[in-house]
Structure 1
Amino acid sequence: MLSLAEFRLKAKGLPDYLPWAALIDSGIVLTKAGGLMAAWEYAGPDLDSATQDELITMASRVNGALALGEGWVLHADAVRAMAP
């Protein structure tokens, strides 16, 4: 990375704290530490009315689909909004 410290006239801004270095392909980001990052959005089924058996089945399916082995990190955010 190019050091811009000699040109800095004020305190650090938000980009200084973000871990992203460059967008290297559609949806793939190179981090400043050299890692690769990708993100997806998924809207699953409404599980508020699901039975215990349905919840166990869904958890098992997700666990099987996301068994990636060593060296992987998955981060999930649950963003909820009121229905219109």
Structure 2
Amino acid sequence: MCNKKYYDSVLKCPICGNDFFNVGRGRVKEYCSIDCKNINSFLNSIESKLIGISFKTESDKKALKSRIWSMSNLITFKISKDKK
């Protein structure tokens, strides 16, 4: 089965979940905004960096995990007016 994304089709952003239209010519959009695209780039970058870290102590590892957890708590949920 063909898994093409056609023009004027409704797509879902993999970062925020918003629906958006794929309009225009050229490459198919993957994200609803430049912000979501940049967040995805950041996540890919940090993920590859975390894989290569070797910690000196367990407390160093826990400190980084704690900082990442604190950052994740900055994510908020907002209901857009068009979705009820």
| Richer in helix (by share) | 2
- TM-score over 0.5 for the pair: no
The answer to which structure has the higher strand fraction is 1
TM-score range, shorter chain: 0.3 to 0.5
Larger Rg: 1
TM norm structure 2? 0.38
TM-score (norm 1): 0.38
